[in-house]
Amino acid sequence: MTSTSQAAPVHHSAGLPPERRAKPSKARVDPVTIITFFLIILFVMPARYVVGPLGGAGSPSSMVAVLLLVWYLLSTLSPRWTPIRGPQPVRPVIVFFALAVLASYVAATTRPLSADEVNAADLGLVLVAGWAGIALVTADGINSMDRLETLRHRIVMGASFPAFIAMIQFFTGIEVTQYLALPGLVEKGSAVLFEREGFFRPAGTATHPIELGVVLAAVLPLALHGAIYCRIPEQRRKRWLMVVLIAGALPMSVSRSAILGLFVVMLVLLPTWPPEWRLRATLIFGAAAIVMRLVIPGLIGTVLNLVSVIGSDENSTTRTGDYDAVVEAVTQRPFFGQGFATYLPRIYRVIDNQYLMSALETGLVGLLALIVFLLAGWTLARRARRAAIDEETRHLAQCFAASTAVAIFGFGTFDAFSFPMITNVMFLILGCCGALWRLQTQAPREMYVPDA
């Protein structure tokens, strides 16, 4: 047991009569176990495979996420089973976000819609329901620091799989994910690997290299925490191996969003580390760059060049050229937008910026809801850090803050809500931040299983 568990709620049952003491209930379902099942589907199963008749709403991970919301809502009907215990800021954040999307859906019905836009709007509601289920079950369902640590470890294990697949794709050029789909699923999207500057751009089991890179950058601080604070020598090597997999696959995406996300992680974590940690991190980072330069000639130069030309290359100028079109469209429907998920690239244009996309689809209200969603994770993690009494928990909180910071920055570099893996991961991290805040700020309660 790590020292993070010291802040876990204590079950005070010693003074209760035998028939009233806390007893493990086999009927109870552990939320972390259910979320683990969701993580397996999210990270292992290629995101482009769906249940054919359901279209985009038939993504297995989306279907499980919606079931999480159904489970959460049904559990609130009984005082015995409800996960709601005291205040939880994640709840109003999710409600505000969902209401903003619903308002945009209603606004969309006031204008002529094509069949594709109607289908996309309906799919958007399904996706938001799943995102809400992920965040709420995580924020309210995790009842101890031990279970939160278990979930953190499983998130890292899950992300290590697409990182490993990405390395195979990068070095061989073989799209191995075509062999990972379950029978009966239909491929929605291309299985062809992208290329840039002579390098294959792997996506792992994600839908795009940018998505993979940002996911790995967001999970990297969680992997570092597990490796740094591992207390079991036999597991320490495995945990550092997962750090190497995630950090090594990140630049292989050949994505500036991923590299800038890595810099964000360093910017958030390094100032909070002891001087000896910072020195080791600097030496390891430099050595890793040299090794990668020798093993994969040209890769480091390529990714650094992508960052250095920001603002002057064609990709950047194309994105800034979107601003005039966005401003014109937003002024026509300023408050609730034209409808969540209805700004389709094949009908309108590609917008590589989630903040601009939210302003278009859900208006200024939806943009505010997006900002609140992102800032909520950062704020809750930072408040949990201030409330924590041991250094390990403080570091865990800072790592969750770093993960959220990656999203705050990364959502400005691509339309994140169009990519299932990164969106699901960020709502899961929001839930983890909410659970950590609750476990660190709310006093332990006497808990026992009521008589049946």
- Other beta carbons within 10 angstroms of residue 94's beta carbon come to 27
Look at 189-203, 265-279, 342-356, 363-377 and tell me which has the smallest mean pLDDT.
Answer: 189-203
Residue 452's pLDDT is: 32
Start-to-end CA span in the chain (Å): 32
Region 40-61: what's the mean pLDDT? 79
Residue 101's pLDDT is: 97
Region 170-195: what's the mean pLDDT? 80
Whether 444 and 10 have beta carbons less than 8 Å apart is answered as yes
Confidence class for position 316, pLDDT limits 50, 70, 90: low
Region 393-397: what's the mean pLDDT? 97
pLDDT tens-digit readout, 129-178: 999 999 999 999 999 999 999 999 999 999 999 999 999 999 998 888 88
Confidence class for position 226, pLDDT limits 50, 70, 90: very high
DSSP 418: G
Mean per-residue pLDDT of the chain: 85
Confidence class for position 19, pLDDT limits 50, 70, 90: very low
Confidence class for position 119, pLDDT limits 50, 70, 90: confident
Look at 22-26, 61-65, 380-384, 386-390 and tell me which has the smallest mean pLDDT.
Answer: 22-26
Confidence class for position 24, pLDDT limits 50, 70, 90: very low
Residue 376's pLDDT is: 97
Residue 224's pLDDT is: 97
Distance CA 6, CA 1 (A): 9
- Tell whether the model's pLDDT for residue 9 goes beyond 60: no
Residue 191's pLDDT is: 67
Higher-confidence position of 48 and 7: 48
Confidence class for position 440, pLDDT limits 50, 70, 90: very high
Distance CA 283, CA 155 (A): 27
Confidence class for position 38, pLDDT limits 50, 70, 90: very high
Confidence class for position 1, pLDDT limits 50, 70, 90: very low
Q: State what percent of residues in the chain have pLDDT above 70.
A: 86
Which of 249-253, 285-289, 377-381 has the highest average model confidence (pLDDT)?
A: 377-381
Higher-confidence position of 403 and 303: 403
Confidence class for position 312, pLDDT limits 50, 70, 90: low
Distance CA 204, CA 417 (A): 18
* DSSP string of 369-413, one letter each residue: HHHHHHHHHHHHHHHHHHH-SSHHHHHHHHHHHHHHHHHHHHTTT
- Tell whether the model's pLDDT for residue 16 goes beyond 70: no
Residue 339's pLDDT is: 92
Q: What is the pTM of this model?
A: 0.88
Region 198-225: what's the mean pLDDT? 93
Residue 222's pLDDT is: 97
Residue 320's pLDDT is: 62
Which of 123, 142, 129, 124 has the alpha carbon at shortest distance from 94?
129
Distance CA 261, CA 6 (A): 32
Region 342-358: what's the mean pLDDT? 87
Residue 239's pLDDT is: 95
Region 357-369: what's the mean pLDDT? 95
Residue 299's pLDDT is: 80
pLDDT tens-digit readout, 421-438: 999 999 999 999 999 999
- Other beta carbons within 10 angstroms of residue 167's beta carbon come to 16
- β-bridge pairing 194-196 and 199-201: antiparallel
| Angle (CA) 259 264 270, round 5° | 120
Surface-to-core class of residue 288, CB atoms within 10 Å of its CB (0-12 exposed, 13-18 middle, 19+ buried)? middle
Q: State what percent of residues in the chain have pLDDT above 90.
A: 56
Is the backbone of residue 385 left (phi > 0), alpha (psi -120 to 50) or beta? alpha
| 315: its two tokens | 């990709």
Domain positions in the chain are: 29-440
